[in-house]
Amino acid sequence: MNNILLTGGGGVLGTEFKKYISCDAPTHKEFDITKFKKKQDYKVVIHSAAYTDLIKAETDKQTCFKVNVHGTYNLVKAFQNSYFIYISTEYVKNPVNFYSYTKLWGEEIVTRYAKNYLIVRTLFKPRPFPYEFAFYDQYTTGDYVDVICPMIVKEILKNRTGYVDLGTERKTILDLAKQTVPDIKSISVSDIKSVKLPKDYR
């Protein structure tokens, strides 16, 4: 694949993408989606850049909105004639916090302004699991980024359009974490007080 723009190229998913596709993947400093100027056209735009700090988003709503909603709008309007791939999240299926709503609003922008798009709802984690605790009562079909990324690339190569849910078998976040950190400590979703989290993404 040629003539591809990848946003969020320095992120967890963006870094993995670059193993599979040849693309322009500018850093945030080189390409700020909230205030960029279009320099060229791209046949394909993979939009994986996002504000993803769930907890901080509750107190820094302006920045979260600016990146996830305004930034997405900028890209879609600039590349309306491109095949536009929007990396969304499982959270939009059961939105309960500000981050999840901004991703849902991003989806709505893509469906309204992009002529040819694919919205990917998924969840991915770095390998190995990077946190000290994992939820024993939060369910997901997400997986590690090296599992999810090839699945996304496969859908892009099909030129698939519309919505797609990508993941593996249903499991708890703790089950997923134990695959790479067998002795990880468990925690309940209800133990988190700074942001509302879903127990299931359905």
Query: What domains, with CATH codes, occur in the chain?
Result: 4-124+144-166 (3.40.50.720)
pLDDT for residue 27: 83
Task: Indicate the DSSP class of residue 50.
Answer: -
Token pair 């909105």 in the structure block, residue? 65
| Angstrom distance (rounded) from CA 27 to CA 173 | 30
Ordered DSSP codes for 115-177:
SEEEEEE--EE-SS--SSEEESS-EES-EEHHHHHHHHHHHHHTT--EEEE---S-EEHHHHH
Our separate counts of H helices and E strands in the chain read 7, 11
Per-residue pLDDT of the chain (202 residues; tens, 9 = 90+): 469 999 999 999 999 999 999 999 988 888 999 998 888 999 999 999 999 999 999 999 999 999 999 999 999 999 999 999 999 999 999 999 999 999 999 999 999 999 999 999 999 999 999 999 999 999 999 999 999 999 999 999 999 999 999 999 999 999 999 999 999 999 999 999 999 999 998 7
Residues 124 and 150 sit within 8 Å (Cβ to Cβ): no
pLDDT for residue 202: 76
7: helix, strand or coil: strand
Neighbours of 40 (CB within 10 A): 7
Q: Which amino acid is at 128?
A: P
pLDDT for residue 2: 62
**What's this model's pTM, rounded to 2 decimal places?**
0.96
pLDDT for residue 28: 83
Neighbours of 179 (CB within 10 A): 15
8: helix, strand or coil: coil
71: helix, strand or coil: helix
| Angstrom distance (rounded) from CA 120 to CA 32 | 22
| Angstrom distance (rounded) from CA 33 to CA 55 | 22
